[in-house]
Structure 1
Amino acid sequence: MAPDPLPAEALYRRTDLAGLDFRSTADLDDVETLVGQDRALDAVRFAARMRSRGYNLFVMGAKGSGKHAAVRNYLNERAAALPSPDDWVYVNDFDDAHRPRCLRLPPGGGPAFARRLEGLVKDLRDTVPGLFEAEDYRLKREAIEKRFAERSEARFKEVAEEATKRDLALVRTQQGLVVAPVEDGKPMPPEKFQALPAERRSVLQAAIEEVQGHLRAALHTAPILERERQAAVRALDREEAGALVDLELAEARDGLELPAETAAWLDRLRDDLIDNVSAFVRPAEGDENSGGPAISGPPEARFRRWAVNVLVSNGAARGAPVITEDHPTLGRLIGRIEHRAQMGAMLTDFTLIRPGALHVANGGYLLLDAQKLLTNAHAWDALKRALYAERVVIEGPAESAATALMVSIQPCPIPLAVKVVLFGDQRVQAALSAMDPDFTDLFKVAADFDDVMDRDAAHDLLYARLVATIQRRSALRPFDRGAVERVIEHCSRLVSDARKLTARVGVIADVMREADYVGRDRRHRVIRAEDVEDALEAQRYRSDRVERRMREQILRETVRIASDGEAVGQVNGLAVLQAGQLAFGRPTRISARVRVGRGRVIDIEREVELGGPLHSKGMLILQGYLAGTFAPDVPVALQASVVFEQSYGGVDGDSASSTELYALLSALSQLPIRQGIAVTGSVDQMGMVQAIGGVNEKVEGFFEICNARGLSGGQGVMIPRANVEHLMLKPEVIEACRRGAFRIWPIDSVDDGIEVLTGVAAGERGPDGLFPEGSVNRLVEDRLLGFAEARRKYLGDGDEA
């Protein structure tokens, strides 16, 4: 027996908030957290409080579900109660400048420490030149110079005296000092020396060689004396500068609570300042040797070795950091080392080390988008290394490709204690879980934010408060009770389920903003239900160009869709199309032709590769139903073709499988089908009709065609009974059903559906194993038996198919 059409009350579930004591959202309190997300929020709380390694968090949820705001709000609240993490600074390692040292300082102590050392260097630049220009220093320096000059002079004097004893003298020539024989107090000419007796020449020559040996020894002593002089000058400089540096350092350290490692580095800084104190002395103009700097480079670069690079600073009262990195490249994640061009080379030092998000979030929480992280080269691997090693190592992706013109450094790693939160969807999580075993080891907790929540009396007040919260945070006008009811009803329509509501806060906020826009134009102080309704209508109008164009093609019969009369082997199916943000229903004419054949149902869409795998699956299920229901003891001798007429794109999904089956049953039974009825629903092999998606759009799509042509009272849509609770139809459809001008039939089985379409009983097998005479199933089975007999006669008993 054919089912009765649904009453109008079953086509839309209204919201009644009359039992709640409020006139507008101004009377309602804010919700403290997301409504209907208790399970996901419990996971967030668990991950945030779990201290063991690997309990990082992966957050899943639909776009606009409010997961980012909910997670960040909770983490901000928790982080505010946590202690602020320590500051980290990079300083020069005076023993190895290519390996800068990192120092830990109390929260907020990094900038103060840097300012103190900056002031220390500035003071030394001001005071050291005066120290070395003082009379006391000058006299001590002159005494050193005089002492070493006298030592050098005394050495040469000894050589000169030795030469005099042997009738020789030291003579200064262009080649330097030489030893020569003398006569009458003057150097002897060479020709006169050669005229001397051989014995005398031999004695003088031996004396000359002996004195020249003493002279060479004296000359070799000169560099040693110069080194000793320089060492004495440096010792004097250290002695003079030591007291000044100690005084400045004591002032710089005053009031600072420094860890032992930092205090030890300051001691090393003291020695380096004293060793290089000449860098603070201004050389006299034109005098390159008067206390010039011991450190080369531009003036400011000379003092950079004593600077402090504050990498991360956390205020003492801020709590733990909660950092969101929207562009997680390798450098922005783990830090980078910058370079500056100088004399054709790329140089760097510890002052050019820049922090990454891991440094800034250290001691707190780091929020990252999983998709963006995976699309940035090397970033995912670097994050894993940092989490496993529990330290951040600044490195570049192409360090091995660095040229000889680029100078690099290796900063010491910084200990890491951070909780990482990745945002993504189920697809990204499944891919990471399947391809990288480290993922499940590092991200042990998943927070899955649902995109729907229950629609019941227990949630009415919570949802109304959610609307009030969005209204206030978005600075909108208050919504009266009717407007709140209309928002709730639309949120149920968004998920195509009268028993559910969307949990996507962003989508709700968009609807409310557009309703506020309409109400503002009408100068309503409080947003009303008609403002919400008109905003939704305007939203659809702005995006329904494609829908209107397709409807126009049907109404002009460019695309043939019958909405009246009867036809054999032809049924109106329903599909849902997506155009941007708008989904709409579109009727499609499905036809079937049958004849004697080899038991094959040809799916034309699949044959031309326009049918997707789910559509093909539906066709195979349909064939299973035919084979198991009709003439099971006789070989199938049917050849049928089924096609979506005037369909030029791909077809997928099984929601039209029942429609295709009705077309085949009509073609086999030769019973005409009412063209004013459209059909949707998938079918199983037992002939039961199953739920499909997009039921509201499908019903409304066919209604628009019928309504434009004029409702005759015999038109309607057959839907699976399981989809009845998903109905949230437009008011005009409900009103037409109330008047009986349009009908919606809930269908449980193929037999129910074929009775509605043909007006003929489907029929059940009797005790004799036959369907009732004149029933649809009897006509189909008789036709199939006739095909089998015709095939047997045509091929002969011995021939195979």
Structure 2
Amino acid sequence: MVEELKPERLYRRCDPESLPFKTTEELEELDGGMGQPRAVEAVRFGIGIERPGYNIYALGPPGTGKHALVRHFLQARAAERPAPSDWVYVHDFAHPNRPRAIELPPGMGTRLRRDMEQLVEELRPALSSAFEGEEYQARRRAIEEEFAERSNRAFAELRRRAQERGLALLQTPMGWVFAPLRDGQVLSPQELQQLPEEERTRLEREVEELQQELQRVLSQDIPRWQREMQRKLRELNREVTNFAVGSRIEELKEEYAEFEEVAEYLEEVRRDIVQNAREFLGQDRDVQEPGREERTQPPPSRRYQVNVLVDRGGMDRAPVIYEDNPTYQNLLGRVEYMAQMGALVTDFNLIRPGALHRANGGYLILDARRLLMQPFAWEGLKRALRSRLLRIESPGQMVGLISTISLEPEPIPLDVKVVLLGDRLLYYLLSALDPEFVQLFKVAADFDEEVDRDGENDLLYARLIGTIARREGLRPFDRTGVARVIEHGSRLAGDSGKLSIHVESLADVLREADYWASRNGNGAVTAADVQRAIDARTYRSDRLRERVQEQILRGTLLIDTEGERVGQVNGLSVIELGGFAFGRPSRISARVRMGRGEVVDIEREVKLSGPIHSKGVLILAGFLGGRYASERPLSLSASLVFEQSYSGVEGDSASSAELYALLSAISGVPLKQSLAVTGSVNQHGDVQAIGGVNEKIEGFFDICRRRGLTGEQGVVIPRSNVQHLMLRRDVVEAVERGEFHIYPVRTVDEGMELLTGLPAGEPDEEGRFPEDTVNGMVERRLAELGEKMRALAARSSGEDGNG
């Protein structure tokens, strides 16, 4: 005979007197999380090993404290490492579209930027003074006068030779021309025509010769002299510019002498200033080198700036960065644009860093789901980790869809440890579908959701409560409040022998308990405050539960809690919406008739059944055939259904209830409607554990209590679920008063005995069951159906023969 459970087995209390403190203020903070030895070891290993590909994926459900624990260990490790280098971008004067990256010690990037800004400020007055000085103007005039003198001398020689030949050199709006002279006067066209033919021919020949000489002077000599003058002016400008700025740049080169790249850059700056001094002053570019292209690079005010991409000044440790919005550009950086004259332009000063730049030399934490939801972000991260280089380019450039000219910043070496936070399903999907994932994230830190409940962990749980209270600025919890939270932790875990370490859920309860403590004027949070918080959370979420119960109490949903019915039993299911779960009783009915051994699941036939529920129904057919029809056909057809179910049915937790209804329908033995049933069953008739046992029991209890407890109502559960019981206090009190009962069963036979009040019956040596037992009645009924089937078959054969 099955014995009902005693009240002490329905709820595992935590004795406040067993806790060695008065309030959580006396307890030390809990560092590194609780009950995560496997995950902690994996995180320590992943942080400690300095090899490519050993990045970390922290897997587990949200709210288990993955982020806090991972950050704790990363910050501890980062404190042991020095601050990484600064990175700056400067203009590449040889390749303006390819900015150069320079690595500098922490804080030196900002210093170089300030020095270059000061250099530009000092250059303007220095160059202005040098080019406006009397010495420069005098030397420039001398060069220009030399050119003018050469030009004048050449034209004077041409005039002299022309006069000797009776010609004059004249300058007209159309250019230089030669004209005949007589008595010092230029002949008019009419006078020229009156000259003898021989004279006109001679003049034309002389003009042609002198015109060739003039053309040589204009096309060869004067351009050569101009080029010579420009060369001398450039040399003069370079000499003056070098004199004006050389000393300051040499000072900077001495300051940064140990940084070869900076010294090379400063030398290039000096050469560029010398070549573009007048441009730097905003004047006409009359001294620019011939053949130099129009400006395709930033103006001097921006060209000599230093873009500090990553500044480590003031840091004394490696960085630990969490990127909340891991888009492609937020991860790998971007090049911004600005509008000028209706066009978008850019330069190296508009290069912006990404999270990988800020975390370079340290650690980067990312949410895996958010990362995978951003276009190109996952591929960009993998590419950076695989190549160990940070390239700043647009997503279109990365996939080869854009070929327009843009900046191509020099890649930066990447040295970073990446930690992804995500759930288990995502980890397993990535492992199965992305071959690069297992190469780049070799360390899996698997976070558990629960720990064993024992004395040691009770104290650790109390420290966890105290730690959360301190960090959240909550009141301390006294020992009664801690004891109640520990009990609630077991309820969240759904196991009296476990404690939930879902930190977010625990913190929510602590915050709300603190609120009620403030309302009650308590200096410390007590058990009453914690219970008030739990009750208030339930009340805010249980509107749907109340409506379901209301429909049952009003008779809309048919549930009997008294009497007996054949082929009808109360099954229990769980509904979970918005994080709130509650039990809902459901009527399960079965009908049988002659057939060919088919057990029809009506839910499956109308496609309201999930695969697990359908599997459970098929197991029932295996049980019936194995127990009652091992040596003869199973001559029945049965139908099973969840009455008044208007949505899908999934899970096998009702398979034992379906079997009880089926056995009742076959045997004709009525089942007690005062008992509800939960549990799955296998083909041997063993009742197996199910989930949500607490919610299921409480769901049926609430209906019975509101209708009035008779002392006969109760719930039949699998014995293997007893360890999971953490029932509400009102349920436990009803059991103490004998008004409600909870029966654990191991087999279907034990459940049938409870539901029918009759013995299930054991088979004799021949395998037959006693007639006055449930199994005997089932066996006899199946035999009768078999005989009727054979009789019908024989009659049908005879009628066919006569015909």
- Shared fold by TM > 0.5? yes
Q: Offset at 1:85?
A: 1.2
* Cα distance in structure 2, aligned partners of 1:142 and 1:251: 33
- 8 Å Cα contact 2:62-2:422 kept in structure 1: no
* Cα distance in structure 1, aligned partners of 2:390 and 2:258: 23
Q: Determine the structure 2 residue equivalent to 1:385.
A: 383
Q: Offset at 1:278?
A: 0.6
SS in 2 for 1:398: helix
Deviates more, 1:494-503 or 1:214-223: 214-223
Q: Which residue of 408, 412, 416 maps to 1:418?
A: 416
Pairing of 1:187-202 with structure 2 (within 5 A):
187-202=186-201
* Cα distance in structure 2, aligned partners of 1:595 and 1:175: 121
Q: Determine the structure 2 residue equivalent to 1:430.
A: 428
Deviations 1:392-434 (A, max 9, x none): 111112246559xx75221111111111111111111111111
Deviations 1:554-605 (A, max 9, x none): 1111111111111111110000011322101111111111111121111111
Q: Which amino acid aligns with 2:7?
A: A
Pairing of 1:393-542 with structure 2 (within 5 A):
393-399=391-397, 408-542=406-540
Q: Determine the structure 1 residue equivalent to 2:603.
A: 605
Q: Offset at 1:628?
A: 0.1
* Cα distance in structure 2, aligned partners of 1:342 and 1:224: 39
Deviations 1:637-672 (A, max 9, x none): 111111111111110000000000000111111111
Q: Determine the structure 1 residue equivalent to 2:230.
A: 230
* Cα distance in structure 2, aligned partners of 1:289 and 1:332: 41
Q: Offset at 1:297?
A: 7.8
- 8 Å Cα contact 1:132-1:281 kept in structure 2: no
* Cα distance in structure 2, aligned partners of 1:620 and 1:298: 78
Pair 267,579 (structure 1): closer, same or farther in 2 beyond 3 Å = same
* Cα distance in structure 2, aligned partners of 1:381 and 1:518: 49
SS in 2 for 1:796: helix
Q: Determine the structure 2 residue equivalent to 1:40.
A: 39
* Cα distance in structure 2, aligned partners of 1:257 and 1:156: 56
Q: Determine the structure 1 residue equivalent to 2:122.
A: 123
- 8 Å Cα contact 2:276-2:288 kept in structure 1: no
Q: Offset at 1:627?
A: 0.5
- 8 Å Cα contact 2:10-2:726 kept in structure 1: yes
* Cα distance in structure 2, aligned partners of 1:169 and 1:773: 150
Deviations 1:171-221 (A, max 9, x none): 222322212232212223333333333333333332222222211111112
Q: Determine the structure 2 residue equivalent to 1:369.
A: 367
* Cα distance in structure 2, aligned partners of 1:348 and 1:290: 27
* Cα distance in structure 1, aligned partners of 2:541 and 2:236: 86
Q: Determine the structure 2 residue equivalent to 1:84.
A: 83
Q: Determine the structure 2 residue equivalent to 1:626.
A: 624
* Cα distance in structure 1, aligned partners of 2:424 and 2:296: 56
* Cα distance in structure 2, aligned partners of 1:418 and 1:57: 11
- 8 Å Cα contact 1:84-1:316 kept in structure 2: no
Q: Offset at 1:224?
A: 2.4
Q: Offset at 1:435?
A: 1.3
Gaps of 5+ in 2: 799-803
Q: Offset at 1:45?
A: 1.1
Pairing of 1:139-218 with structure 2 (within 5 A):
139-218=138-217
Q: Determine the structure 2 residue equivalent to 1:614.
A: 612
Q: Determine the structure 2 residue equivalent to 1:281.
A: 281
Q: Which amino acid aligns with 2:263?
A: A
Q: Offset at 1:467?
A: 0.9
Q: Which residue of 785, 788, 800 maps to 1:787?
A: 785
Q: Determine the structure 2 residue equivalent to 1:133.
A: 132
Pair 281,301 (structure 1): closer, same or farther in 2 beyond 3 Å = closer
* Cα distance in structure 2, aligned partners of 1:466 and 1:687: 44
Pair 683,726 (structure 1): closer, same or farther in 2 beyond 3 Å = same
* Cα distance in structure 1, aligned partners of 2:102 and 2:81: 22
Asked whether 1:343 is paired with 2:377, we answer no
Q: Which amino acid aligns with 1:43?
A: A
TM-score normalised by the chain length of structure 1: 0.96
Q: Which amino acid aligns with 1:175?
A: M
Q: Determine the structure 2 residue equivalent to 1:735.
A: 733
Pair 694,442 (structure 1): closer, same or farther in 2 beyond 3 Å = same
Pair 203,264 (structure 1): closer, same or farther in 2 beyond 3 Å = same
Pairing of 1:632-643 with structure 2 (within 5 A):
632-643=630-641
Q: Determine the structure 2 residue equivalent to 1:242.
A: 242
SS in 2 for 1:559: coil
Q: Offset at 1:538?
A: 1.1
- 8 Å Cα contact 1:276-1:295 kept in structure 2: no
- 8 Å Cα contact 1:86-1:314 kept in structure 2: yes
* Cα distance in structure 2, aligned partners of 1:594 and 1:148: 122
Asked whether 1:584 is paired with 2:582, we answer yes
Q: Which amino acid aligns with 1:497?
A: D
Q: Offset at 1:799?
A: 6.3
* Cα distance in structure 1, aligned partners of 2:705 and 2:672: 17
Calculate the aligned-residue CA RMSD, in Å. Answer: 2.0
Q: Determine the structure 2 residue equivalent to 1:575.
A: 573
Q: Determine the structure 2 residue equivalent to 1:52.
A: 51
Deviates more, 1:458-467 or 1:680-689: 458-467
Q: Determine the structure 2 residue equivalent to 1:774.
A: 772
What is the number of equivalent residue pairs in this alignment? 793
Gaps of 5+ in 1: none
Deviations 1:100-126 (A, max 9, x none): 111111111111111111111111122
* Cα distance in structure 2, aligned partners of 1:20 and 1:401: 66
Deviations 1:510-568 (A, max 9, x none): 11111111111010111111111111111111111110111111111111111111111
Deviates more, 1:712-721 or 1:456-465: 456-465
SS in 2 for 1:169: strand
SS in 2 for 1:590: strand
Q: Which residue of 707, 710, 716 maps to 2:708?
A: 710
* Cα distance in structure 2, aligned partners of 1:298 and 1:564: 92
Q: Offset at 1:295?
A: 9.8
Q: Determine the structure 2 residue equivalent to 1:593.
A: 591
* Cα distance in structure 2, aligned partners of 1:564 and 1:762: 22
Deviates more, 1:184-193 or 1:213-222: 184-193
Deviates more, 1:256-265 or 1:575-584: 256-265
- 8 Å Cα contact 1:129-1:280 kept in structure 2: no
Pairing of 1:308-319 with structure 2 (within 5 A):
308-315=306-313, 317-319=315-317
Q: Offset at 1:300?
A: 9.0
Q: Offset at 1:455?
A: 0.5
* Cα distance in structure 2, aligned partners of 1:568 and 1:282: 103
- 8 Å Cα contact 1:120-1:252 kept in structure 2: no
Asked whether 1:62 is paired with 2:61, we answer yes
- 8 Å Cα contact 1:296-1:302 kept in structure 2: no
- 8 Å Cα contact 1:672-1:758 kept in structure 2: yes
Identical pairs, percent: 51
* Cα distance in structure 2, aligned partners of 1:292 and 1:204: 44
Deviates more, 1:484-493 or 1:374-383: 374-383
Deviates more, 1:616-625 or 1:530-539: 530-539
* Cα distance in structure 1, aligned partners of 2:205 and 2:681: 127
Deviates more, 1:174-183 or 1:657-666: 174-183
SS in 2 for 1:96: coil
* Cα distance in structure 1, aligned partners of 2:469 and 2:514: 9
- 8 Å Cα contact 1:60-1:446 kept in structure 2: yes
- 8 Å Cα contact 1:117-1:252 kept in structure 2: no
* Cα distance in structure 2, aligned partners of 1:444 and 1:799: 71
Q: Offset at 1:19?
A: 3.8
Q: Determine the structure 2 residue equivalent to 1:334.
A: 332
- 8 Å Cα contact 2:46-2:55 kept in structure 1: yes
Q: Offset at 1:791?
A: 0.6
TM-score normalised by the chain length of structure 2: 0.96
Q: Offset at 1:299?
A: 13
Q: Determine the structure 1 residue equivalent to 2:801.
A: none
